[in-house]
Chain A
Amino acid sequence: MKTSRTARGTAEARLGRAVARLAGFVAGVVGALLLLPSGAAAHGVVLDHRPVEGVEVRAAFDTGEVMDEAQVSVFAPEDASEPWETGTTDERGRYLFVPDASRPGTWTVQVRQAGHGSIVNVTVEEDAGVTGADGFSGGGYGALQIGLMAAAGVWGFVGTALFFMRKK
């Protein structure tokens, strides 16, 4: 008799302790959740997407060599001092950006690296979005054009030399 009452007593005590621990654990978890920064408590990630009209800038030296890791500054219209966005070209010399359609006008993109660089203008119209050619224009001159220009220039200098060499 005595032993069974004692046994019941210890069983109740154990149950009481277990409940107390459980309550403590729950309180701890709730407390921890409340103390954590709100963002970290969220586990879900919401991805969304929409197509936008952007601009791809391609940078290369006139030798055809791509200009990778070059620094790009994008200037919004009517603010030529503060860049609207900065970044670097990828390993193929390309840089993508989406101009703010609510600021129509001429957007200026400057690409530079160690004193080499150039500027290109992109026209953004209020309703039509980005305007311009669909593909790359190729830019620069072809080898034949450069050869002809070089020949013309050299002939000018040779002609000057001949003019001053004619003997009086």
Chain B
Amino acid sequence: MHLPDGIVPATVCAAGFATAGLATWYSLRRIGRQEDPQAQVPKASLFTAVFFVASLVHVPVPPVSVHLILNGLLGVVLGWYAFPAILVGLFFQAVMFGHGGLTTLGVNATMLGVPALLAALLFRSRGLPGLEARGGRKLTGLLAFLGGSLGVGLTALILAVLLFTTVPASLDATAERAAIAALVLAHVPLALVEGVFTALVVLFLLRVDPGLLENHRGPPGREPGEPRELAKTG
């Protein structure tokens, strides 16, 4: 799921860095608007560690094997912190394990980070007035599941579009497209697995320390002066 160096043309790499830069800037700006931007850093750092090692966990989906991505989980749990967390995690994966590459860091960050932010948006909808009244563990679990699946599903879709449109002329396009289709299909079960995993993590956090999820009650970039839940618990 991580594009290595030399697979996509240089223009795609450049565009990837541009979008990743933009998304990082916007995320940091939203984080900076919070009353205490550092309050969420420990949680973000721990989930970055989870994301960093998750790519080593391979899930066999015959005939291929895919690895955990967990970008949906990061989006659901971290909100705006998800994009910087994914960027940092991807950097260390590329440098240490050779997963992905430095020239494709921007493309990979966009491919994983933007779906994570959309998953965050989806999960945040549990705080909407109408839903909140009926909400509860079930709704929270369902939204977490959807968010976790959405992260993987959307990432696989972006990857497929990127690869389909950039198959070099020197390759056998039919064989390459068949291989791409097989890879993307293999991510359907993975999306379900990650959805369930995300739901379990969120329900666990809800039970042991709901404060850890509270930053999603309001918009991720809360207005200054709003009560800050995490400072008390942390």
| Contact flag A112-B170 (CB < 8 Å), given A61-B65, A157-B45 | no
B7 near A115: Cβ-Cβ < 8 Å: yes
Chain A residues 110-168 with CB under 8 Å of chain B are 110, 112-119, 140-141, 146, 149-150, 153-154, 156-158, 160-162, 164-165, 167
Residues of A close to B6: CB separation below 8 A: 110, 117-119
Q: Complex Cα distance A114/B66, Å? A: 12
B175 near A86: Cβ-Cβ < 8 Å: no
| Contact flag A71-B172 (CB < 8 Å), given A113-B179, A115-B3 | yes
Q: Which of A110, A114, A117, A141 is the most central at the interface, judged by chain B CB atoms within 10 Å of its CB?
A: A114
- Number of cross-chain contacts by CB at 8 Å: 93
B159 near A115: Cβ-Cβ < 8 Å: yes
The SS class assigned to the A binding surface is: mixed
Q: Complex Cα distance A88/B48, Å? A: 38
Which of B42, B56, B172 is in CB contact (< 8 Å) with A165?
Answer: B42
Minimum C-beta distance from A20 to chain B (A): 59
Residues of A close to B176: CB separation below 8 A: 71, 112-114
Minimum C-beta distance from A87 to chain B (A): 10
B206 interface hit (Cβ, 8 Å):
no
Encoded as 1 (CB less than 8 Å from any B CB) or 0, chain A from 84 to 125 comes to: 001010000000000000000000001011111111000000
Which of A65, A117, A154, A162 is in CB contact (< 8 Å) with B7?
Answer: A117
A115 near B45: Cβ-Cβ < 8 Å: no
By Cβ-Cβ distance, the 9 closest A-B pairs, closest first, are A157-B49, A114-B179, A161-B42, A161-B45, A164-B41, A114-B183, A160-B45, A165-B42, A154-B49
B175 near A88: Cβ-Cβ < 8 Å: yes
Q: Which of A65, A88, A156, A157 is the most central at the interface, judged by chain B CB atoms within 10 Å of its CB?
A: A157
Report the stretch among B92-100, B118-126, B129-137, B195-203 that lies at the interface. Answer: B92-100
Residue of B nearest to A149 (CB): B96
Encoded as 1 (CB less than 8 Å from any A CB) or 0, chain B from 64 to 92 comes to: 01000000000000000000000000001
Q: What are 23 residue pairs bridging A and B, where the CB atoms are less than 8 Å apart in the complex?
A: A62-B98, A63-B58, A63-B65, A65-B65, A71-B171, A71-B175, A71-B176, A112-B7, A112-B176, A113-B176, A114-B182, A117-B4, A118-B6, A119-B5, A140-B98, A150-B53, A150-B96, A158-B46, A160-B42, A161-B49, A162-B42, A165-B42, A165-B234
| Contact flag A146-B175 (CB < 8 Å), given A65-B65, A73-B170, A117-B4 | no
Q: Complex Cα distance A141/B95, Å? A: 13
A115 near B183: Cβ-Cβ < 8 Å: yes
Minimum C-beta distance from B134 to chain A (A): 35
Minimum C-beta distance from A75 to chain B (A): 9
Given A114-B180, A117-B7, A164-B41, output 16 extra A-B contacts at Cβ < 8 Å. A63-B65, A69-B175, A71-B171, A71-B176, A82-B170, A112-B7, A114-B176, A115-B163, A116-B7, A119-B5, A146-B56, A150-B53, A154-B52, A154-B53, A160-B45, A161-B43
A28 interface hit (Cβ, 8 Å):
no
Query: How big is the B interface, by class?
Result: 35 or more
A83 interface hit (Cβ, 8 Å):
yes
Minimum C-beta distance from B178 to chain A (A): 9
A146 near B46: Cβ-Cβ < 8 Å: no
Residues of B close to A167: CB separation below 8 A: 234
Q: Complex Cα distance A161/B162, Å? A: 35
B170 near A118: Cβ-Cβ < 8 Å: no
Residues of B close to A82: CB separation below 8 A: 170
Q: Complex Cα distance A56/B52, Å? A: 34
